[in-house]
Structure 1
Amino acid sequence: MARYLALLLALALRLAYPAFAETDQGDVSAVNVLFKSLNAPPQLTGWSSTGGDPCGDDWKGVKCSGSSVTEISLSGLGLTGSLGYQLSSLTSVTYFDMSKNNLKGDIPYQLPPKVEHLNLAENAFTGGIPYSISQMTDLKYLNLHRNQLNGQLNDIFGKLDRLSEMYLSFNQLSGNLPPSLGSLKSLKTLHLQNNQFSGSIKGLANLPLEDLNVENNQFNGWIPNKLKNIDTLQIGGNSWSSGAAPPGMDKASNTNSHTGGKKGVRSVVNGAVIAGTVIAVLVISLILLALIKRRSLSSSHYIDDQSSQNISSTPLVSRELGLKGYSSSIDIKALETPPSMDLRPPPEPYKLFSDNEFAVKLNPKQSTNPVSITAYSIVDLQAATGSFSASRLLGQGTIGSVYKAKYADGKVLAVKKIDLINLSGGTSSYDFMELVSGISKLRHPNITELLGYCLEPRYHLLIYEFQMNGSLHDFLHLSDEYSKPLTWDTRVRIALGTARALEYLHGICSPSVIHKNMKSANILLDSELNPHLSDCGLAVFYEDTSENLGPGYNAPECTKPSACTMKSDVYSFGVVMLELLTGCKPFDSSKPIMERTLVRWAAPQLHDINVLTQMVDPALRGLYPPKSLSRFADVIALCIQPEPEFRPSMSEVVQSLDQCVHRTGIDKRSRLSTSCRSDDSESSYH
Structure 2
Amino acid sequence: MREMSAVVRVLVLFSVCILGLKPSFINAATDPQDAAALRTMYTSMNSQPQLTGWSANGDDPCGQSWKGVTCSGQRVTEIKLSGLGLSGSYGYQLGSLTSTTVLDLSNNNLAGSIPYGLPPNLTRLNLGGNNFNGDIPYSVYSTASLVYLNISHNQLQNQLGDYFGKLTSLSTLDISFNSIAGNLPESFSSLSSVKKMYLQNNQFTGTIDVLANLPLDELNVENNRFTGWVPQQLKSIDLKINGNSWNSGPAPPPPPGTPPATRNRNHRGGNGDTSSDGGGEMKSVQISSTLDTKTFDVPATINLKPPPIERHKSFDDDDFSKKPIVVKKSVTAPINVKAYTVADLQMATGSFSVENLVGEGSFGRIYRAQFDEGKVLAVNKIDSALFVGRQSSEDFTEVVLNISHLHHPNVTELVGYCSEHGQSLLVYEFHKNGSLHDYLHIPDEYSKPLIWNTRVKIALGAARALEYLHEVCSPSIVHKNVKSGNILLDAELNPHLSDCGLANFIPRANEYLSSNVEVGFNAPEILMSGQYSVKSDVYSFGVIMLELLTGRKPFDSSRPRSEQSLVQWALPQLHDIDALSEMVDPVLEGLYPVKSLSRFADVIALCVQAEPEFRPPMSEVVQSLVLLVQRANMSKRTIGVDQGTSRRESQDSSENLS
Output the TM-score relative to the length of structure 1. 0.44
Output the TM-score relative to the length of structure 2. 0.46
